[in-house]
Structure 1
Amino acid sequence: MTTTTSPTASSPRTRPVDTARLVAVRTAFATLDRVAPGLAARWALRLWCTLPSNGGRRRDERPWAGERSTVTIPGGRTVVVESWGSGEPVYLVHGWGGWRGQLGAFVAPIVDAGRRVVAFDAPSHGESAAGGLGPRRSTAVEIVEAFTAVAAEHGAPHAVVGHSLGCTAAALAVADGLPAGRLALIAPSADVLAMTGLMARRLGYTERTQTRFDRRLEALAGRPLADFDLTTMSGAVPALIVHDRRDKEVPYREGVKVAASWDAAELVTTDGLGHQRILRDPGVVEQVTRFATA
């Protein structure tokens, strides 16, 4: 594992937190945790599956419109796919609440390197139809299903560029048997169980609720939550892990943990790009493109 550092960018401005609302939610969860942990777990699961709506996830960095199509995924739902160029495909897999346009800065350089870029919107994301839970709600499993279906239609990946939860979806699809030459994972989260623990701390409920929540989440996923642990998915596939020290959504230590656990991984560290701007930083785009098109 090697480490490089891209040029430092200025820190992004943060929006003020709605403290009153957070206090009210924490108070409600604390009460339910004592008297009705099952109800608290159902509420927590609904919050978990609801997509965020901050503007950064809706940025459109696509240089030009590509060829638009749709692919049908399990359950009969459709997802929107967009492709550019020709040659072996490099897939762009967006994160939670994002869409294909977020990763558009990678399109032109990858096409210029002689590869075809294929991007898609997961269920309930971007321009795709609603997922199985309805509008504005989805799961990581649906992202995996969408990616697998799109790859079956457009060809085995020469490489995959994933962001945030898209990293987990891409790695899990590969672990399940989808062949891929290499994986570039930008701001990956190492372990979903750590994320559920973080949610418990933020919302103020105890193990009484979290245990029930984890069981419900596992039932919804249809597979053990341990399957979503990136640190156990290491293999022979070369990997590039890119993470920012000041990422406020997925801590930098998560990327370090993933890189340390993978057999053939290189860690690229940035400072000041956060969780979203890292996707359009010229230095990051150049390094990821060079890796994905090798």
Structure 2
Amino acid sequence: MSAVDASATGTARTHATAATARASRGRRLVARSRLAYVRGRLRVLGVVAPRAAGAEAFALWCTLPGGSGRRKDDRPSAGEVVELTAPRGGRVVAESWGEGPVVYLVHGWGGWRGQLGAFVAPLVDAGHRVVAFDAPGHGDSDPSVLGPRRGTLVEVMEAFEVVGARFGDAAAVVAHSMGTTAASMVLRAGTLRADRLVLVAPNHDFADILADFARTLRLPVRVQRQLRAALEEFAGRSLSDFDLAPLGADGQLPQTLVVHDRRDKETPFAVGERVATAWPTATLVTTDGLGHQRVLRDAATIELVVRDVTGPRDA
């Protein structure tokens, strides 16, 4: 390539970089404007119509996050797809690969089954049938009862129970982020049994999540109360019932591997430490630099999880 060609290429790259930076700044400005509008609207509603403000906050809480990381597809190939019926109506899409003792993969908030696809081939090679599914509102399943682009933890749990009824008890469950709470709740309820449990980047307690949400939207106290009441009414139980650390503190959940990255920006590393300390059945494994999503594709982490799932059981 000539010097002129090199210069032209460099100029084009500079222009492309500048255009990308401008687009990124534009998106940030739009996001800030939207947030300012929502804050202002909820502040006014909190004064004149607290119930309406609570309902609007509830809808925002149940809105699924975007982001390409949650839509990555790491499945090695297409598996056998089945469609099941969710308790509140609509299709739950499940996919399976291989034969042998079942290992379930449970995605997190805003994710889908392909996000944990890197675990499929190693687990199949180790002699397992791997089953993954999309909760209502996620992936290829039908929308939540709350409508498109919405979801609830309760519906994730219900979908897991439906899939578990179809494929049976498990050798292991591997769950990510908010899916760790869904999986732990289902196992705790006894509707599905598993010999092993793997919690990758477990989520915070719901009081902490609610506090972060309220700070972000600057919700007045009475709107926060309305939101909490709406959440508990939908779930049919207290939000504190979903806190992970107490769920397995009595040793009634299976032998558990907790995997958490020190630089996770979505769920603090301290959460994984707290769960591993509270559960007598749990062991903590720490990674560094993989964050919240890349940990699901890291070869060393996957090897560790497969080794744990396939290792000898405690007497």
Q: Please report the TM-score for the alignment, with normalisation by the length of structure 2.
A: 0.85
Matched, 1:128 2:145: no
Q: Is the 1:131–1:138 Cα contact (8 Å) retained in structure 2?
A: yes
- Give the superposition deviation at 1:201: 0.8
Please point out which of 298, 302, 306 is paired with 1:281. Answer: 298
In 1, Cα distance between equivalents of 2:282 and 2:32: 40
Aligned partner of 1:7 in structure 2 is none
Aligned partner of 1:169 in structure 2 is 182
Q: Is the 1:190–1:258 Cα contact (8 Å) retained in structure 2?
A: no
Please point out which of 189, 204, 207 is paired with 2:218. Answer: 204
The AA in structure 2 aligned to 1:180 is A
Matched, 1:249 2:266: yes
Matched, 1:32 2:49: no
Matched, 1:290 2:304: no
Structure 1: any 5+ residue segments left out of the alignment? Answer: 1-14
Aligned partner of 2:197 in structure 1 is 183
Deviation string 1:93-142 (CA, Å, 9 cap, x unpaired) is: 00111110000000011111111100001111111112211221111010
- Kindly report which structure 2 residues correspond to 1:4-43, keeping only aligned pairs within 5 A, or say none: 17=28, 18-43=31-56
Aligned partner of 1:72 in structure 2 is 85
Over 3 Å counting, the alpha-carbon distance change for 1:157 and 1:249 in structure 2 is same
- Give the superposition deviation at 1:26: 2.5
Aligned partner of 1:143 in structure 2 is 156
Deviation string 1:140-174 (CA, Å, 9 cap, x unpaired) is: 01000000110111010111000111101000001
Aligned partner of 1:3 in structure 2 is none
Matched, 1:115 2:128: yes
Matched, 1:230 2:244: yes
Q: Is the 2:176–2:202 Cα contact (8 Å) retained in structure 1?
A: yes
The AA in structure 1 aligned to 2:306 is T
Over 3 Å counting, the alpha-carbon distance change for 1:71 and 1:194 in structure 2 is same
Matched, 1:239 2:256: yes
In 1, Cα distance between equivalents of 2:40 and 2:269: 30
Q: Is the 1:27–1:204 Cα contact (8 Å) retained in structure 2?
A: no
Higher relative contact order (CA 8 A, sep 6+): 1
Structure 2: any 5+ residue segments left out of the alignment? Answer: 1-23
Q: Is the 2:204–2:267 Cα contact (8 Å) retained in structure 1?
A: no
Deviation string 1:246-274 (CA, Å, 9 cap, x unpaired) is: 21211222111111111111111112111
The AA in structure 1 aligned to 2:143 is A
Question: After alignment, is 269-278 or 82-91 more displaced?
Answer: 269-278
Question: After alignment, is 247-256 or 196-205 more displaced?
Answer: 247-256
In 2, Cα distance between equivalents of 1:288 and 1:47: 34
In 2, Cα distance between equivalents of 1:67 and 1:196: 38
In 2, Cα distance between equivalents of 1:103 and 1:160: 12
- Aligned residue for 2:195, secondary structure, equals coil
- Give the superposition deviation at 1:19: 2.6
- Give the superposition deviation at 1:28: 2.9
Aligned partner of 2:7 in structure 1 is none
Aligned partner of 1:260 in structure 2 is 277
In 2, Cα distance between equivalents of 1:62 and 1:293: 20
The AA in structure 2 aligned to 1:57 is R
Q: Is the 2:136–2:144 Cα contact (8 Å) retained in structure 1?
A: yes
Aligned partner of 1:5 in structure 2 is none
- Aligned residue for 2:165, secondary structure, equals helix
Tell me the percent identity. 54
Over 3 Å counting, the alpha-carbon distance change for 1:148 and 1:209 in structure 2 is same
Q: Which has the higher helix share?
A: 2
Question: Highest Rg: 1 or 2?
Answer: 2
- Aligned residue for 1:56, secondary structure, equals helix
Q: Is the 2:103–2:128 Cα contact (8 Å) retained in structure 1?
A: yes
- Aligned residue for 1:160, secondary structure, equals strand
In 2, Cα distance between equivalents of 1:65 and 1:285: 20
